[in-house]
Amino acid sequence: MHLLWLKAPDIAATALPGQFITAYCKDMPLRRPVSIHQVGTSDSIGNPIGVHCTTHDKKPDHIALLFQITGIGTQWLSQREAGEDLDILGPLGNSFQFETEAKNLLLLAGGIGIAPLTFLAQEALPGHSITLIHGTSTASQIYARSLPPQVRFISVTEDGTAGRQGKITDVLPDFLDWADRIYACGPLNMYKAISEQFLEITPDKNSAFKCQVSLEVRMGCGIGACYGCTIKTRSGPKRVCREGPVFPLEDIIWEEVKL
């Protein structure tokens, strides 16, 4: 994983958990979308709990990006050095929604899906009790250092090298009675498995879980003009970059989604 802090006052001042930026990567025709991982000030850089370690009289003017190398674009981003300028656009898309009356928040992070959920956890404190389950293939992929200490962190690894062995869906039933709201970010197969699990538990009340998920799809323009990231939902076609990337879990027609 690579952590990149950028001085971007206009974006940091208005960014909400779940939103993203697009970055121009040299010699690539399309910009690369990356979730906003944290916001903070210069004091936040290197500090494990980001904006909440800054003084109250300082407004956030930095954003953090947490990403893995998946191609030429992220490879190029990972090689940037201090003092360089980057061409980024944001904040883009919608955000996670949470209400004050929902006290217990359950966050489900699959792999690099920990990135936007860290921002959500920071913004939801104080006022909410938060449990975050991070599912990875092996122990080396676990990332929790940016989480506030008030967050209950549970690691789940498929090979059993850290935390509980298995997948997020193996642990999820233990927290369904506790959670008022569920927020998830991860791969498509994780969402499909969660959706099927919810239907098995309450086939007539799937929406009762009030689960929001963040989708990562291939994007063209990133601003809703090209319709290249459109998916089918129960309320009609939606652009992930514009009406998303956050959607109610039960609104998405999963068998029609190809990420």
Query: Per the domain annotation, does 238 fall within a domain?
Result: no
For residues 29 and 130, membership in a common domain is answered with: no
Residue 100 has pLDDT above 80, yes or no: no
What integer pLDDT is reported at residue 47 of this predicted model? 61
Residue 155 lies inside a defined structural domain of this protein: yes
Residue 174 placed within a domain? yes
**By the 8 A CB rule, do 54 and 45 touch?**
no
Report the predicted TM-score, pTM, of the whole model to 2 decimal places: 0.91
d(CA 100, CA 72): 42
Specify the number of domains making up the chain: 2
Q: Answer yes or no: is pLDDT of 7 > 90.
A: yes
Mean pLDDT in residue range 202-208: 51
Q: What are phi and psi of 7, to 5 degrees?
A: -80, 110
Please check whether residues 73 and 150 belong to one and the same domain: no
Q: Are residues 50 and 22 in the same domain?
A: yes
- Domain membership flag for residue 29: yes
Mean of the per-residue pLDDT values of the chain: 88
How many C-beta neighbours within 10 Å does residue 77 have?
19
- 208 and 110 belong to one structural domain: yes
33 three-state secondary structure:
strand
Q: Are residues 140 and 78 in the same domain?
A: no
In a domain, 247, yes or no: no
- Of the candidates 132, 77, 78, 140, the residue with the CA atom closest to the CA atom of residue 110: 132
Residue 255 falls within a domain, yes or no?
Answer: no
In a domain, 222, yes or no: no
pLDDT tens per residue, range 36-58: 999 998 877 766 454 544 444 57
Domain assignment of residue 134, given as a range: 104-214
pLDDT (average), residues 103-114: 95
In this structure, are 113 and 35 located in the same domain?
no
The answer to whether residue 12 sits within a structural domain is: yes
**What pLDDT, on the 0 to 100 scale, is given for residue 166?**
94
Q: Are residues 197 and 108 in the same domain?
A: yes
Q: 124 with 208, same domain?
A: yes
Q: What CATH number is attached to the domain comprising 84?
A: 2.40.30.10
